Amino acid sequence: MAPARRYCLILGKPSRVREDIGSIHFRGGINNFAAGAVSWSRSHLLPRGRYRCPWPLQAADLGDAADFIRRVHDGDHPDHVQPVVLDALQRRGHLVAHSYGCVSAVLAAADRPDAVASLILCEPPFVGLTAGWPETDSHVAALAPLFERKNDPTFTDLEFSAGFARAVGMPVPDFTPEQLARSAARLRAFTPAWLIPIDPRVVGRVPTLVVTSGTRDIYDEVAQVLESHGATRLVLPGFGHRVQDHPDATAAFRQFWELHSGG
């Protein structure tokens, strides 16, 4: 089997990440791909105080060896994202995904295990696998009524965005009217993870590292299920949902890639 020399990093649902940069190419010895909105951006491209680099440590570690692609769908639906991911990997490579991006990653691995040398799933939200678990049931109960009304013309953008923020334990954002309309449009295009079937056996067929913060939330429930199907589990505490910001994350990723590069 050909050695894996490509890396595809998939962002979850980005917030206030620059999308006007378009396609950016950095020349280097390895091609690394990011699916989503400028998912693996170098810090000088993100103005301080306004935007946050989704993969800061990994960007610094791999330097200029990167290709970036724009977000391909408002709702990040895997039907749109998955073909881009597989095209980026070409013959064979590693997938790293965060949050909702894990949905596209695991579905890509299910469809093309020959093209995916390894999976690293950072806080995957596969709550369809954990129905009946306490944190999952609470999470779905809070969000489901909002998405049931997403096509209701009387359900305002402010009600939807504010309700979503409260349901996931975030402050209600202070958006401008334009930002509010854009945020709500993305939410209305979004398909909740519990509605997308995931086969957990994929992580037994493709080497998979599941990374969570260890806060006993929905992501830890999902990680327990994936571990029971053959995934390796890693807990990186102290950085909340953004486990990729942990100072040990990049070294852990590299170690996992080296174990499963082949060739």
Q: What is the pLDDT of residues 232-242, one digit of tens each?
A: 999 999 999 88
Q: What is the pLDDT of residues 157-205, one digit of tens each?
A: 999 999 999 988 888 889 999 999 988 998 999 999 999 999 999 999 9
Does the pLDDT at position 46 exceed 80? no
| R_g over Cα of the chain | 18
Does the pLDDT at position 52 exceed 70? no
What whole-number distance in Å separates Cα of residue 72 and Cα of residue 67? 15
Task: Please report the domains of the chain, with CATH numbers, ordered by start residue.
Answer: 6-129+196-259 (3.40.50.1820), 134-189 (no CATH)
- How confident is residue 49, by pLDDT bands cut at 50, 70 and 90? very low
- How confident is residue 97, by pLDDT bands cut at 50, 70 and 90? confident
Q: What is the pTM of this model?
A: 0.79
**DSSP class per residue in 166-228:** HHTT-PPP---HHHHHHHHHHHHHPPPGGGS---TTHHHHS-EEEEE--SSSHHHHHHHHHHH
Does the pLDDT at position 209 exceed 80? yes
132: left (phi over 0), alpha (psi -120 to 50) or beta: left
The rounded mean pLDDT for the chain is 77
Per-residue pLDDT, 9: 57
**232 has which bridge partners?**
209
Phi/psi for 232 (5° steps) reads -90, 140
Does the pLDDT at position 67 exceed 80? no
Number of Cβ atoms within 10 Å of the Cβ of 79? 12
Phi/psi for 148 (5° steps) reads -65, -20
- How confident is residue 94, by pLDDT bands cut at 50, 70 and 90? confident
Distances (CA, A) of 206 to 22, 68, 106, 235: 31, 25, 9, 20
Average pLDDT over residues 42-66: 47
Does the pLDDT at position 261 exceed 90? no
| C-alpha closest to that of 43 among 65, 59, 27, 30 | 59
- Counting DSSP H helices and E strands in the chain, the numbers are 9, 8
